[in-house]
Chains A and B, each alone.
Chain A
């Protein structure tokens, strides 16, 4: 099997489908043409930059460049999680929890994968480390976003029940146990359904990519299974971390519920 390289003309051809979508938007007066055009351009620019950057990092083979790229991922993660919250924690805590939980969990799973499973030489070889780290963080990020959203909105909604428990002498962990459990369960749902439907409803993106790039489907399948396990592990760690940190941030050392530490997103814009 051979790898078919795409020419710029091939990409223009593929873009015709986008023109079709824009046409539909016009025909049905959805008013989405502009968004379609800008998000498509944004996607091209982002992927273009990332593609060339990765090429540079791969060719340099420098651990420093690898770490730099990973750091970029961390910053983007923190920003992404924080910006998706309906209510978020005041100040830097919001970025800390959104960045640290997915990144740490992703890093643990990735280092485990490249050292113990893949055994790439050297272990930080960017060609293995960065794509796997990206997949780990991306999935952990989705889980963490759900956990934070669930916990902050449930704590706000169920204030009187939580404070009722605190008033009877419960600790913050007792008072918030239902909220925490609900948050963790919600955060783990996407990876569970992704595992359940993998290969049945859709071929996972990475496996599709490997097959298109000429890999043997059975080999691609093995990689995909490994990645799924890693994602499940990374998401689990990230979700639990984010859940525990949010309970700590939502309360104080006197075990009081501190909803005043949450800022609704619409107020930030004002």
Chain B
């Protein structure tokens, strides 16, 4: 069970909700409403006020890396720090057969792991990042627009895998613009209010 207690993500009102094992919470809202910030906060990637519990233990009871090993965030555009995807997968104790199955489930092969990152399409990279996030058996998957970069066929495969992860007892928090996807996979839907104009203005200026 994932429980979020009075999480402060200004300018949103404080958030309190829980997601049971095997259930999916979808987070919807306009761009800039804080969907990504919410997922990042749950993964403890940004400093935020509020309590987050997984199976009764608050995130501060364990180290950040230990927390993120169990609560896994998959960004909309994942980072790559090696020439090939394989270099970014955990090296130790890789069950090749299992990995091959996981890749096949989203329409990829082991061979994709050794391609040049630059030669992979956005959709292929998104699916590789999804499979990468499954390594190490996290309890919670925080998926940021997992199907946005995918063609309909691949999106259907990923959606099926999300269902499969739920069936296996994992918790999924999914941020998406896709109302159809949200309706199909969610047990609970969280709508974030439209961002106020004032907050949009403060994000301007040179990078």
Q: A161-B81, A169-B66 are in contact. Are A254 and B44 (CB under 8 A)?
A: yes
Q: Min CB distance, B134 to chain A, in Å?
A: 11
Across the interface, B64 reaches (CB within 8 A) one of A160, A178, A256, namely A256
Residues in chain A within 8 A of chain B (CB atoms): 158-171, 178, 252-258, 266
- Assess whether A168 is in contact with B132, with CB atoms less than 8 Å apart: yes
Which of chain B's residues have a CB closer than 8 A to the CB of A178?
Answer: 81
Q: Does B65 contact A (CB under 8 A)?
A: yes
Residue of B nearest to A156 (CB): B207
CA distance in complex: A171, B67 (Å)? 11
Q: A161-B81, A162-B79 are in contact. Are A167 and B65 (CB under 8 A)?
A: no
Q: Min CB distance, A265 to chain B, in Å?
A: 12
Q: Min CB distance, B80 to chain A, in Å?
A: 6
Q: A255-B65, A256-B64 are in contact. Are A167 and B45 (CB under 8 A)?
A: yes
Interface residues of B in 32-47 (CB under 8 A from A): 43-47
Q: Min CB distance, A179 to chain B, in Å?
A: 10
Which of chain A's residues have a CB closer than 8 A to the CB of B44?
Answer: 254, 256
Interface residues of B in 120-139 (CB under 8 A from A): 129, 132-133, 135-136
CA distance in complex: A256, B65 (Å)? 9
Q: A252-B47, A254-B44, A256-B45 are in contact. Are A165 and B81 (CB under 8 A)?
A: yes
- Assess whether A167 is in contact with B43, with CB atoms less than 8 Å apart: yes
Which of B43, B65, B129 is most buried by chain A, counting CB atoms within 10 A of its CB?
B65
Q: Min CB distance, A172 to chain B, in Å?
A: 8
- Assess whether B78 is in contact with A160, with CB atoms less than 8 Å apart: yes
CA distance in complex: A256, B41 (Å)? 11
Q: Does B3 contact A (CB under 8 A)?
A: no
Residue of A nearest to B138 (CB): A169
Which of chain A's residues have a CB closer than 8 A to the CB of B75?
Answer: 160, 163-164, 167
Residue of B nearest to A171 (CB): B65
Which of chain A's residues have a CB closer than 8 A to the CB of B77?
Answer: 160
Q: A162-B81, A164-B78 provided; 6 other pairs, C-beta below 8 A?
A: A166-B68, A167-B72, A167-B73, A254-B63, A256-B45, A256-B64
- Assess whether A165 is in contact with B79, with CB atoms less than 8 Å apart: yes
Contact with A along B59-93 (1 / 0, CB 8 A): 00001111011001111011111000000101000
Q: A163-B75, A164-B88, A256-B47 are in contact. Are A169 and B65 (CB under 8 A)?
A: yes
Q: A163-B45, A167-B75, A168-B132 are in contact. Are A158 and B68 (CB under 8 A)?
A: no
Q: Min CB distance, A214 to chain B, in Å?
A: 56
Across the interface, A168 reaches (CB within 8 A) one of B63, B64, B66, B90, namely B90
Q: Min CB distance, A46 to chain B, in Å?
A: 35
**Which 5 pairs from chain A and chain B are nearest by CB?**
A164-B79, A169-B69, A161-B79, A160-B79, A254-B64
Contact with A along B13-26 (1 / 0, CB 8 A): 00000000000000
- Assess whether A168 is in contact with B47, with CB atoms less than 8 Å apart: no
Residue of B nearest to A266 (CB): B206
Q: Min CB distance, A156 to chain B, in Å?
A: 10
CA distance in complex: A169, B79 (Å)? 14
Q: Min CB distance, A194 to chain B, in Å?
A: 32
Residue of B nearest to A167 (CB): B73
Which of chain B's residues have a CB closer than 8 A to the CB of A159?
Answer: 79
Across the interface, A254 reaches (CB within 8 A) one of B47, B79, B206, namely B47
Could you give 14 example pairs across A and B, Cβ below 8 Å? Answer: A161-B79, A161-B81, A164-B75, A164-B79, A166-B45, A167-B43, A167-B68, A167-B73, A167-B133, A168-B68, A168-B135, A169-B72, A252-B47, A257-B45
CA distance in complex: A170, B43 (Å)? 13
Q: Min CB distance, B99 to chain A, in Å?
A: 15
Residue of A nearest to B72 (CB): A167
- Assess whether B74 is in contact with A167, with CB atoms less than 8 Å apart: yes
Across the interface, A255 reaches (CB within 8 A) one of B64, B74, B80, B90, namely B64
Across the interface, B80 reaches (CB within 8 A) one of A161, A169, A254, namely A161
Q: Min CB distance, B135 to chain A, in Å?
A: 8
Which of chain A's residues have a CB closer than 8 A to the CB of B132?
Answer: 168
Which of chain B's residues have a CB closer than 8 A to the CB of A158?
Answer: 79, 81
Q: Min CB distance, A243 to chain B, in Å?
A: 18
CA distance in complex: A166, B66 (Å)? 10
Q: Min CB distance, A29 to chain B, in Å?
A: 32
CA distance in complex: A171, B78 (Å)? 18
